[in-house]
Amino acid sequence: MAVNHVDVKCGGILSAPSGNISSPNFPGLYPYNIDCSWLIVVAEGSSVLLTFHHFELEYHTNCAYDYIKIYNGIPEDDGNLLGTFCGDISPPQFTSSWNVMSIIFHSDRHVAYRGFSVGYRKDMCGGVLTGLSGIISSPGYPQDYSNNADCSWAIHVSNTSVVTLVFLDFQLENNEGCNFDFVALFDGPTVTHRHLGKYCGAEKPPHTVTTSNQLLVLFKSDFNIGGRGFKAYYFSGECQQVLSAVSGNFSSPHFPNIYPNNINCHWTITLAAGYRIKLFFPIMDLEDRNSLSDECDYDSVAVYDGDSQTDALLGCWCGREEPHSLLSKGNKLLVVLSTDRNEAHRGFTASYLGGKYSLYRHLICFENEALNIFCHIIILKSVLIILIVCMLYSLKCLKWHLRLY
């Protein structure tokens, strides 16, 4: 028998550095027909870590009856949604990518269970990261990190993907063996997994790619001598692709559903030397330009004529702008999608074709079969026309000569 309150007070704003949230009436059955919303706001510069202690909701394949939704920010924005959960499988630990996180709880008019209980705490460093991409940095970065720091980040992406970690800045106390201050990487969720590297000093660690869908990053400092620390980007495979086929398609993460907020995704097209790349965007639907600056300040797709963001910018688009097709100067193109903390749209789809200069310098023949056939027909046709004209001309000459005699 479920409790049936008509006016249940639930939800609220929590700003203490740690606390607990549970469904109304927990551990008794939750009421029917309720909607609760909790907003957790901790000190700027830190993040929120959620850990579920109990989870028991009515089950539905799509969680259409009773559910909780967890957001990396405010709940009004679907781009912040980290997940929707129901049934009795507890959500994993989550860390927000900034200092705001929210939980909403909904129950319908039939069937109730005991609900949930979840703890949160403010994290100065470390956490469990599940976004498609994100930034991790030493505590207080770019100011010097504290002594005796002990941070660990568990990065967990979708099952079919891998994690790439790219260091943007790195400066730690240096010593041989890196026993004082160090960053250590593991190919899995714990230190018992394969060791990918241990780094200190001022040299940036190389790009690291896991073999599984999890990466563990540890940062430790000893009792004295610090440094600026480090800043690194991580990407899940859906958000970091290297394309080397002669033609292909790609799209923003989750397309045709809305893309996540707060991501920075890279697609690099690298073809063999001698190729050039033609790129099209059949669909583009991002947040609009900033009406004050008239720039793509919020969400944007940028294309660079090479493999890095220091190469020439071919263009930057947002809203529903339709870029013309683009042609690279060389055999590489980089496409970067950046989104801000709110308002997400469907995203984009892109197609590309690699082409090589043929003997006819003005014609680029593509290795895409249909286009290649078309291309060669044009060449063949022009050769045939020239032959026929020559033949007709020679026949005419021959006739003329015969008439003379």
Which span sits near Ca ion by CB under 5 A: 122-130, 173-181, 237-245, 364-372?
173-181
| Binding track over 203-242 against Ca ion, x by CB under 5 A | ------------------xx--x-----------------
Cα–Cα distances in angstroms (integers) from residue 307 to residues 3, 53, 197, 281, 329, in the given order: 60, 46, 25, 19, 12
Least distance in Å: CB of 210 to Ca ion?
A: 27
Is 173 a binding residue for Ca ion by CB under 5 A? The answer is yes
Is 288 a binding residue for Ca ion by CB under 5 A? The answer is no
Least distance in Å: CB of 73 to Ca ion?
A: 11
- Rounded to whole angstroms, the Cα distance separating 154 from 117 reads 23
| Member of 298, 304, 352, 366 binding Ca ion (CB under 5 A) | 298
Is 285 a binding residue for Ca ion by CB under 5 A? The answer is no
How many Å from the N-terminal Cα to the C-terminal Cα in the chain? 118
- Rounded to whole angstroms, the Cα distance separating 269 from 274 reads 14
In the chain, what is the greatest distance between 2 CA atoms, to the nearest angstrom?
A: 118
- Across the beta sheet with 94-95, the strand order is 18-22, 115-123, 47-56, 94-95
- Rounded to whole angstroms, the Cα distance separating 289 from 297 reads 7
**Residue 349, phi then psi, degrees to nearest 5:** -125, 145
Of 247 and 338, which CB lies nearer to Ca ion in the complex structure? 338
Amino acid, res. 153: W
Is 108 a binding residue for Ca ion by CB under 5 A? The answer is yes
Which span sits near Ca ion by CB under 5 A: 137-145, 180-188, 269-277, 371-379?
180-188
| Binding track over 315-344 against Ca ion, x by CB under 5 A | ------------------------xx--x-
Least distance in Å: CB of 120 to Ca ion?
A: 25
**Residue 186, phi then psi, degrees to nearest 5:** -130, 140
In the complex, the residues that contact Ca ion under the rule CB under 5 A are 58, 65-66, 107-108, 111, 173, 180-181, 221-222, 225, 287, 298-299, 339-340, 343
